Amino acid sequence: MTLTRWTGMIIVVDPRAISVLAKWQNSYSIKVVLQELRRLMMSKENMKLPQPPEGQCYSN
């Protein structure tokens, strides 16, 4: 992924879908965000999703 313009948002992650981003506080660190993302990735619903083919790029 190439970042061409910084908008102040995490690209590809909808902040409304991640509770820690939706309820952001200045006391949070990147560690808090990464822990929440890992927890979500390990949920049963997300673990069942198929992986994209090797070399495939994300596009809207």
pLDDT band at 51; cut points 50, 70, 90: confident
Its sign, for the CA torsion 11, 33, 31, 43, is: negative
Is 17 a member of any domain?
A: yes
**59 vs 23: which has the higher pLDDT:** 23
In the chain, the number of structural domains is: 1
Confidence of residue 4 (pLDDT cuts 50, 70, 90): low
Residue 4 domain-assigned (yes or no): no
**19 occurs within a structural domain:** yes
Whether 54 maps to a domain, the answer reads: no
Residue 21: give the domain boundaries: 13-46
Predicted confidence (pLDDT) per residue in 40-49, tens digit: 888 888 888 8
The two three-digit tokens of residue 27, written as one number: 């006391």
Q: Does 6 fall in a domain?
A: no
Does residue 30 lie within any of the structural domains? Answer: yes
pTM (predicted TM-score): 0.56
Read off the pLDDT of residues 10-32 as tens digits, 9 standing for 90 and up: 556 778 888 898 898 899 998 99
